[in-house]
Amino acid sequence: MTYLADKKISIVIPSHNEEKNISYLIEQLRETLSPTGYAYELIFVDDGSRDNTLNELKINAELHPNVFYVELSRNFGKDYALKAGIAMAQGDAVITMDADLQHPPQLILKMLNLWENGYDIVYTYREGENPHGKGYQKVTSKLFYKGLNMLSDIKMENGTADFRLIDEKVVKQLKLIDEYEIFFRGIIKWAGYKQVGIPYVPSKRHTGEASYSFSKLVKLAVGSIVAFSARPLYIVSLIGLLISSLAILYIPYVLVSYFLGYAVSGWASIIATIAFFGGLQLLVMSVIGVYVGKIFMQSKHRPHYIIRSSNVVIVDNDFIRV
């Protein structure tokens, strides 16, 4: 593999309560990247950590001139943290990865090789189930990707990760996207360009526990589907049309029963019908409400994140290394 020393690699790492992983990850990345000859920078985004993550980042930024950090004012979520880091990146390629070392740094060498061979995006996906994941996480992961592929307009491999390499020309386009509840795994697929996926087996977390709760996973799933397709609206419309058609077929039964003197089912059937149609209406309204809610939040044009501090100077929305 041929490396060009005049190229620079930016590695963006969202960090939330990762105080015990920071120094070890930096050392692993230095061991992996230093022999390649590439210039590189490590950009950590502290996404509202409640431990000593920020202090660890400041210490390492003093020790290593190519380590940069940005502290967000609160926890905005992983994808917004990624957006903040990508906005700071100045490399010919940007690599995004997690701070818990489940994304093996050694795989970066394969990414760089594929990039040098002409690929604009090199993404990763899990090879099989996560051997270190909990039972409910394995089940919800499968359901998430099956639901996303079925209900949205993008197709993703099961276990697609936020461990990827993006060429500079793709990064320029990503920086222009001003979307509420951005979902980078989907955006990357949607963007096109010349892409290739490589399987990997997640490593065990170096320390700590995953911070994604079940409720956050559900919110992510709903937001991701709504962000990439109007298919749920078409589905509830089809259900409404089908139920209406069946209701029309019920009218002749009522009329025939009336004229022949047969008693039409009374209180129980009426209550059951009202409950069914009431539930159906609430379902349809909730689906529409999710879309309207996203439009409402998008219309506010609030910043996706707020930077509280950084060792990078921001001048006219441009990031300057000091």
Domain ranges of the chain: 8-212+304-310, 230-299
**CB of 81 closer than 8 Å to CB of 72:** yes
Do 86 and 94 contact (CB within 8 A), yes or no? yes
In angstroms, the CA 18 to CA 205 distance is: 11
Q: What is the pLDDT of residue 272?
A: 67
pLDDT, position 10: 93
Q: For position 128, what pLDDT does the model report?
A: 66
pLDDT at 152: 72
Tokens 């189930």 belong to residue: 129
C-alpha to C-alpha distance for 88 and 26, rounded to whole angstroms: 18
Are the CB atoms for 42 and 68 separated by under 8 Å?
Answer: yes
Task: Provide the pLDDT for residue 3.
Answer: 47
pLDDT of residue 162: 86
Q: Report the chain's C-alpha Rg in angstroms.
A: 25
- As a residue count, the chain comes to 322
* Cβ-contact 73, 51 below 8 angstroms: no
For residue 321, what are the contacts with CB-CB under 8 A and spacing of at least 6? 68, 90, 312, 313
Cβ 191 vs Cβ 121: under 8 Å: yes
Decide if 81 contacts 305 (C-beta within 8 A). Answer: yes
- Please tell me the CATH superfamily of domain 8-212+304-310, with its number: Spore Coat Polysaccharide Biosynthesis Protein SpsA; Chain A (3.90.550.10)
* Beta pairing class for 8-15 and 39-46: parallel
pLDDT of residue 1: 46
Name, in order, each residue with C-beta under 8 angstroms of 57's C-beta and a sequence gap of 6 or more. 15, 22, 44, 46, 67, 69, 71
Q: Cα torsion at 14, 20, 25, 28 (round to 10°)? A: -170
- Enclosing H/E stretch for 166: strand 160-167
CA distances from 61 to 42, 141, 224, 312 (A): 9, 35, 35, 11
Distance separating alpha carbons of residues 236 and 317, to the nearest angstrom: 43
121-126 and 195-200: which strand pairing? Answer: parallel
Question: Going residue by residue through the chain (322 aa), what tens digit of pLDDT does each one get?
Answer: 444 557 889 999 999 888 888 988 999 999 898 888 888 999 999 988 888 899 989 999 889 889 999 999 998 888 899 999 998 888 899 999 988 888 889 899 999 999 989 899 999 988 766 655 555 566 666 777 777 777 777 777 777 888 999 999 999 988 888 888 788 888 888 888 899 988 888 877 656 565 555 666 666 667 667 777 677 777 777 777 777 776 666 667 667 766 776 665 666 667 767 777 777 777 778 777 778 877 777 777 888 888 888 887 765 555 656 5
